Amino acid sequence: VLSLELNKDRDVERIHGSGINTLDIEPVEGRYMLSGGSDGVIVLYDLENLSRKPSYTCKALFSVGRSHPDVHRFSVETVQWYPHDTGMFTSSSFDKTLKIWDTNTLQPADIFQFEGTVYSHHMSPVATKHCLIAVGTKSPKVQLCDLKSGSSSHILQGHRQAVLAVSWSPRHEYVLATGSADGKVKLWDVRRASGCLSTLDQHNGENSKASSETANTAHNGRVNGLCYTSDGLHLLTIGTDDRMRLWNSSTGQNTLVNYGKVCNESRKGLKFAVSCGCNPEFAFVPYGSTIAVYTVFTGELITMLRGHYSTVNCCVLQPHFQELYSGSKDCNILAWIPAPREPVPDDISEKSLPQQHLNPAYEDAWSSSDDEG
């Protein structure tokens, strides 16, 4: 991950004629990727190198284009694969709908209609006992759509403004995190009548003597991005106060990791990603026309990935190969692939290598007593 670079040998076929808002790679094989554009178009790509040549283009297998009878009328804000197989995917849009698609026929199997713009939706990656899709819309009520019954009767009430981001815990199938334009992040247990487990407080309760308005806010601005760490023990949130915060998801404590200024001018949801199976773990965050890479637990800015010509809206990780894909307003999807390292000959010990190649994220914080003596 530390050697991610814009891949010179891999292109993603350019299909979108407008900005790309959302990407998702299916978790089963990690082979197929969906993208959603601000003109309503959805494209499905095969990431596998079928040509067996070193340089290749990831081909678009098909798309739901402007001429498709069921195409979204406005911007597609979220696409997500059904977590358990590639036969189905979901998309939601500013046209106030959430569509459940049959991948083989490219026809909607179901369409959920909402009163307001849909900013975000999410299906649990781990649920076995429910088929609920959480949906964040212009309304402060969080909607839960049941794939089995086709109803969207379940509602979680508590936010005061639009819900810009929703994310199920990858650890507990009934726990949902939501982020809103009201500056609040709420954790819910969807089995509970009251629903809300906690409202995250950036001051960890110490500011409660201050005005009640600022009490229990996660950010001093709109919360427009949420991402759990892969083990579900922590939750990263991002807000238009140019801050990213890391929370202990079981206690709700703000861990107070400082990431510095994380520029975020997005008027809607921002899709960012967290590494999986790395030590340390990294966060990949759209930052203007670049992608900032941070260490999750120390807040260090490791690098900025430069290559897009315009605002980056989303990025997604392919964990099997530690590859990153990003989508931008410039209509391009870029592939960031770890650069192959030169192998170190066996007879050279690690100690004698020049030290400047060691990324600070890899350096041990402890020193052995031998060195001090």
What does the pLDDT average to over 127-139?
96
pLDDT digits (tens, 9 = 90+) for 207-224: 655 556 567 899 999 999
Confidence of residue 54 (pLDDT cuts 50, 70, 90): confident
Q: What is the overall mean pLDDT for the chain?
A: 91
DSSP string, 81-117: E-TT-TTEEEEEETTSEEEEEETTTTEEEEEEE-SS-
Which residues have a Cβ under 8 Å from the Cβ of 297 and sit 6 or more positions away? 246, 255, 257, 280, 281
Nearest to 236 by CA among 215, 218, 263: 218
Confidence of residue 195 (pLDDT cuts 50, 70, 90): confident
pLDDT at residue 265 tops 90: no
Prediction pTM value: 0.90
pLDDT at residue 372 tops 60: no
pLDDT digits (tens, 9 = 90+) for 318-361: 999 999 999 999 999 999 999 877 766 666 555 555 555 556 55
Tell which wins on pLDDT, 182 or 211.
Answer: 182
Domain architecture of the chain: domains with CATH = 4-338 (2.130.10.10)
The region of weakest confidence among 202-206, 207-211, 213-217, 261-265 is: 207-211
d(Cα 281, Cα 15) in Å, to the nearest integer?
32
Q: How confident is the model at residue 373, as a pLDDT?
A: 44
Confidence of residue 206 (pLDDT cuts 50, 70, 90): confident
